Amino acid sequence: MTQRFLSHADLGALVAAHRRVIAPVRARDDARQTDYLPIRALADAALGAALPRRSLKEFFLPPTEVLLSYRQTKEGVEIKEVPTEAQPQVVLFASPCDAAALEVVDKVMDWEYRDELWFGRREATTIVGLLCSSMDSSCICSAIGLGPDSPRGSDVLLTPVEGGYLAQVITPKGEALLSDCAATEASAAAVAQAEAARQQARQKVENNAPAIPDGFAAWLEENFDHPVWRTMALRCHGCGACAGVCPTCHCFDIVDEHDSSDEGVRRRNWDSCQTAKFTLQASGHNPRQGQSERFRQRIQHKFSIYPKRFGEILCTGCGRCCRVCAGGMDLSEILGGLIALAKKGAEGSGR
Amino acid sequence: MNIYQPHLMRIVEITDETVDTRTLKLEFKAPAMAREFKFSAGQFGEYSAFGEGESTFCIASSPTRQGYIECSFKSTGKVTQALRRLGVGDTVGFRGPYGNHFPIEEMKGHSVVFIAGGIGLAPVRCAIWNVLDLRDQYKDVTIVYGARTVGDLVYKRELEEWSRRADLRLCLAVDPGGETPDWKGEVARIPTAVEKAVTTAEDTFAVLCGPPIMIKFTLPVLARLGFAAERIYTTLENRMKCGLGKCGRCNIGATYVCKDGPVFTAAEMGRMPQEF
């Protein structure tokens, strides 16, 4: 991994040189909050503020997108394909939890059938991550095995140092981005300063939740019928807000919208396993009838099913689900409770 | 072409199976697709009525009959009602084939018992014709099929044809109260009909499909007859959207019905969380 120094001016030039740059900016409706939005100049970006309200997911899997359009003609139906290539874009100051999530979701999007709409946008995007400084008590990235300085999913990771940023070049795409830019070799002082900042950031979240222990995925699978799911789910309203803000939740629905007498589009829309009709079958049978089954599905999918199928936890510890939950459900509390049960079970069985 | 884009197919024949169940015979519009399309018995597809969306059905015709596919569906929701409004010559969308298939190869040289309830005959019919079209490669063939009432029996012309064939045993049943005065079949629920019609599990595979309640009460009967759970095959019909393992809807624990199924053995189902 090469390390460079980028001055504020260098970064400003980088923003100016790219047609589409996305960065956290102050939310229009709430100055304490930020959203990932396109920026024109570096000064538009809001630094050191809260984690953006929504993750980067929407730039790769939009809340709603057209999969195809069709026209009914006398001869039948004409389908118009949608392009799978996307316009090049740069995401600047991505939070490490949001950058990592993209790499995690890549696995399911490439599972036997490659989702070209997702990968078209992934390939056209360069991600510049930033050492996280906006953590709060809901952040559990460390427990998941990531951290505020995790390079995962970023092409370049920035750490603020005196006069600018230390840039760690992580991928060839990151190298290409910086090759157009006046970045210089990082001084030993800058490297040391960055390391100190990273260590400080890590300490801020390390104690938010216990680390996911080995064998946790298997414990969850074995304890599918544990009574704890019922008690834990009591506060869940089934609104699905957690899935909307989650950087890794990727479930979707496919619907047709008939626009005029003979034309329409097929759309993919975000969906959530927390809603009652998600698994409702045509016969009226619903395998997940109650909210506790739906809550269990969400936790099992993230911490047992996805790890089993893809070797990855489907969570990057961003904490957004806790921040938006109307029922006050807290993932660190939920995981803490489940981990304690798993440990107790292991002791009880003499393992 | 992105993975969600369907192929266009033309409806070439419509058969009303019951008051609300219909079979569409479909041909690919693109000659290359018509030539190259291959599938195996038990696989499914996403069928679209443009303007209303997609629905998941198995391919109900046999892979031994090339040049077309058939699907059978009950009109229950938006898409199935829209498909019902279409006529011969109209266009539908199709994505597939997806999923795994029945053990048509493994069953060669053995006897097979097919058991179906209601519209559950659709996936089983695909396997039945596959086996009957290669009849000399299998030993005894038994079909046990039932529905709530005589009017709910599907593929009546084929039931007629099977009843006349000497190389298979057909047992038809309707639930008590579902019979008509001229009904000559059994008046019994499927588990009872199976107990009567099937006498041995020796060297035999069982393929069964139907409503969850039928499966639940038929499995113990098959176990008592001596069928090993590894030799009992069924399909799961979970709700799906993509059929490709992405939309996150059809899983039972870590098992994805669209990718690992829809065909499972009773042994596999026993190992899954009981959430289906």
Q: Examine the pLDDT at A80 and tell me if it is beyond 90.
A: yes
CA pair distance B13, B23, nearest whole angstrom: 8
Confidence band for A185, pLDDT divided at 50, 70 and 90: confident
How much is the pLDDT for A208?
Answer: 87
Alpha carbon distances (Å) from B201 to A101, B109, B152, B198, B224: 51, 14, 29, 8, 9
- Alpha carbon of A121: minimum distance to chain B alpha carbons (Å): 13
How much is the pLDDT for A266?
Answer: 97
CA pair distance A156, A24, nearest whole angstrom: 16
CA pair distance B99, A320, nearest whole angstrom: 35
Q: Examine the pLDDT at A348 and tell me if it is beyond 80.
A: no
Number of helices (H), then strands (E), belonging to chain A: the values are: 13, 12
How much is the pLDDT for A210?
Answer: 87
Summarised one tens digit per residue, pLDDT across range A84-130 is 999 999 999 999 999 999 999 999 999 999 999 999 999 999 999 99
Q: What residue ranges define each of the domains in chain B, with the CATH number in brackets? A: 7-98 (2.40.30.10), 111-235 (3.40.50.80)
Determine the residue of chain A that is closest to B273 in CA distance: A224
Instruction: State whether B253 and A271 contact (CB < 8 Å).
Output: no
Residue ranges of the domains in chain A? Answer: 2-205, 216-348
How much is the pLDDT for A351?
Answer: 44
How much is the pLDDT for A349?
Answer: 56
How much is the pLDDT for B122?
Answer: 94
- Alpha carbon of B94: minimum distance to chain A alpha carbons (Å): 12
Summarised one tens digit per residue, pLDDT across range A240-259 is 999 999 999 999 999 999 98
For testing the chain B interface, which of A281, A286, A304, A312 should be mutated: the one with the most B CBs within 10 Å? A281
A283 contacts in chain B (CB < 8 Å): 76, 211
A221 contacts in chain B (CB < 8 Å): 253-254
Instruction: State whether B50 and A67 contact (CB < 8 Å).
Output: no
Q: Examine the pLDDT at A347 and tell me if it is beyond 80.
A: no
Summarised one tens digit per residue, pLDDT across range B71-100 is 999 999 999 999 999 999 999 999 999 999
How much is the pLDDT for A50?
Answer: 85
pLDDT in tens, chain B (276 residues): 799 999 999 999 999 999 999 999 999 999 999 999 999 999 999 999 999 999 999 999 999 999 999 999 999 999 999 999 999 999 999 999 999 999 999 999 999 999 999 999 999 999 999 999 999 999 999 999 999 999 999 999 999 999 999 999 999 999 999 999 999 999 999 999 999 999 999 999 999 999 989 999 999 999 999 999 999 999 998 999 999 999 999 999 999 999 999 999 999 999 999 888
- Alpha carbon of B98: minimum distance to chain A alpha carbons (Å): 11
How much is the pLDDT for A330?
Answer: 93
How much is the pLDDT for A56?
Answer: 98
- B221 contact partners, CB below 8 Å, separation of at least 6: B191, B194, B195
Are the CB atoms for A91 and A122 separated by under 8 Å?
no
How much is the pLDDT for A350?
Answer: 44
Average pLDDT score, chain A: 93
CA pair distance A129, B158, nearest whole angstrom: 64
**Stretch A7-21: mean pLDDT:** 94
Are the CB atoms for B124 and B116 separated by under 8 Å?
yes
Instruction: State whether A251 and B247 contact (CB < 8 Å).
Output: yes
Is this structure's pTM higher than 0.80?
yes
How much is the pLDDT for A127?
Answer: 98
For testing the chain A interface, which of B52, B56, B246, B276 should be mutated: the one with the most A CBs within 10 Å? B246
Q: Examine the pLDDT at A345 and tell me if it is beyond 90.
A: no
Instruction: State whether A268 and B237 contact (CB < 8 Å).
Output: no
Q: What is the DSSP letter of A50?
A: P
